[in-house]
Amino acid sequence: MKSYYQHLKSTKEFGETQNLIKKPILRSSGIFPVVKNEYYTSSVHFLGYWLLKRNISEVALLITLRSSDGNILLRKTESINIAKAFAVHLDELLSKINYDMEKTFVGSIEIEFNTTQDMVFPYPALVLEYHNEKFNTCVHTLGRIYNDFEDMKENNEFQVPETGFDIHETDDLQSFLSFVNGSLDNSDGYIEYTVTNSKSDKLSGNFHLGKINPFETKLIFLNKYIPELSKFLSNKSGSISLKHNFQGFYPRLLVGNTQKSFPSVSFTHSYYDCTSCTSDSDYWNRHNDHHFDSSAYVPIFNQKNQFTNLIIYPNLSPSDLTLQIDIHDKNGSKLFSNEKFLEIKANENKLLKINFNEIISNLNISNSNLAAHVITNSKNNKIPSRIKFGLDVGISGQNSKLPCNICFNTRMGNPLLENKPGSFHWAPIFNKRNYVLTLGNFSSLKNYKKEVNLEFNFYRIEDSKTFTEKCSIKPNSEKRLSINDFNLDDFIKTEGWVTIKADSPYIEGYYFNLNSSGLVSGDHFF
């Protein structure tokens, strides 16, 4: 893990002065565990955004398919020189090697982009999807093979466990983690774990994975290594922290849960466990009183058996925090505010859940398109620079018991952000999935009053055709976009992308697929 301040420097996110000896990013990559079985298969999706965001006219694409033991099965190259939607489908790659499609496949897809211009980020904006006709689950780029020694050294500045996701363990639901090893042999993969249940009780232990070959794909069901997990969780969700000895790759893990009765999977990515991160660089300095310490926008789904929960994991740098919850309607009017909704104590390490449906029911609010502004206030200027939550959106009473579990950070109250004239975001669009995109115009600035102008540009996979729509969004409100808006269902036949240009740096957003089976997938914007 690199420090948050080093991340800002390396990405020049707020106009920071760049180190003169920094190497340009000419290779950007992601590597994904992929599965094909009798129930579902895998795909990777992306937009040719380099042409739009970086004015890079051509990018070389290299696709590598590997077996579970790390052997190369196929390599394919392509030139990306137009701004459109792209996809890499596991089924198509397997057909090229005459794979028996009746057999289960577990392996990996590595996707590399190379260019002669600085891409800034070594991890590209890719989306991994597992899917069939009845469900899909998706997450953005997670693991990657380091570009070189400098890249590895920078990201291994601090060694911390991975955590920050929901686990279930019942007769029907099983939790798992998966990753693709880097180019180095691991003579004996080793994990130390601490499980936290819904009562915040702890269960600790360790297990060995044995030898892990270079580029080997590991798919690990936790109940195999933690036999008492089901009893400990007692039919409720929990969380887990995983300290490992993996080397040679960026160890952001694919994590989630599977369901037996409705064969499906829901996943997200892991995140840093910062409970041992106590140096000055692990905390954000409060610059002035015009900004909240940090804040985040959360869409609330509360119609037709929908539910929305916010999960606070025991993964924060030690700090005493107060969570303020404000709820606004689609016009920006504040319907609810509690400045001391929840206290988070530095020494308690609790797993906490905020049930937005309960808040709304107690207020007798019938409005749809509600949004929450979650504000963190710390004591003694001990502001964790990384505050990671989980956003769970689901539908009760359907075949699927699996909500999404979106990993996201609060945004720090950084006055430098006021110097940015606007922002640029993008997100995938999946047709036939009851697709909903949400945008929030909320800010860490306390007296925020800016109405924001938005420009949507839509792209599809079939060709390079595009079209543009414009709208505005009031302060402290959100805009929701469905596949039925702007005749999107006619334009985007199967899949596509949307870019969002805003004349404000404070726009945040998510996309959701509310499958009719009840399984909800989604993620935050790029």
Query: Which residues share a beta bridge with 107?
Result: 34, 67
CA dihedral 410, 416, 418, 422 (to 10 degrees): -80
Into which CATH architecture does domain 285-416 fall?
Sandwich (2.60)
pLDDT at 347: 83
Whether the CB-CB separation of 119 and 505 falls below 8 Å is answered with no
H or E segment to which residue 50 belongs = helix 50-53
The per-residue pLDDT for range 380-394, each reduced to its tens digit, is 778 888 889 999 999
User: So where are the chain's domains?
Assistant: 4-155, 162-272, 285-416, 422-524
Q: Give the bridge partners for 342, in sequence order.
A: 323
Averages of pLDDT over runs of 10 residues in the chain (526 residues) are: 51 57 87 97 97 92 98 97 96 97 97 93 95 96 84 71 96 97 94 97 97 97 97 97 92 96 97 88 81 94 94 92 94 93 90 94 81 91 87 96 95 87 95 96 94 97 95 96 94 96 96 96 96
Residue 419's pLDDT is 85
Residue linked to tokens 């959100």: 478
pLDDT at 37: 97
Closest CA to 491 of 523, 520, 457, 515: 457
3-state helix, strand, coil in the chain (%, to 5): 10, 45, 40
Q: Which of 90, 62, 46, 143 is nearest to 461 (CA)?
A: 46
Q: What is the pLDDT of residue 417?
A: 86
* CA–centroid distance for 95 within its chain: 30
Alpha carbon separation from 33 to 99, 255, 366, 523 (Å, rounded): 17, 11, 42, 18
Sign of CA dihedral 316, 319, 325, 330: negative
Q: What is the C-alpha to C-alpha distance for residues 286 and 123, in angstroms, rounded to an integer?
A: 30
| pLDDT of 233 | 97
Q: For residue 386, give Cα distances in angstroms to 186, 278, 316, 504.
A: 30, 12, 7, 23
- Asked if 47 and 84 count as a contact pair (C-beta separation under 8 A), the reply is yes
**pTM for the predicted model, two decimal places:** 0.92
**Architecture of the domain delimited by 422-524:** Sandwich (2.60)
Buried (b) or exposed (e) across 278-303, using 16+ Cβ within 10 A? eeeebbbebeeeebbbbbbbbbbbbe
- Cα distances from 311 to residues 54, 165, 273, in angstroms, run 35, 9, 15
Q: Tell me which CATH code domain 162-272 carries.
A: 2.60.290
**Is-same-fold flag (162-272; 422-524)?**
yes
Q: Identify the pLDDT of residue 83.
A: 94
| Residues 6+ positions from 419 with CB-CB distance below 8 Å | 14, 15
Distance of CA 301 to the CA centre of its chain: 19
Give the list of residues 6+ apart from residue 224 with CB closer than 8 angstroms, or none.
none
Closest listed residue to residue 302, CA positions, set 260, 335, 350: 335
Nearest residue to 223 via CA among 261, 170, 297: 170
Kindly report, residue by residue over 39-88, the tens digit of the pLDDT.
999 999 999 999 998 889 999 999 999 999 999 999 999 999 999 999 99
Which amino acid is present at 41? T
The DSSP element (H or E) to which 342 belongs, if any, is: strand 334-344
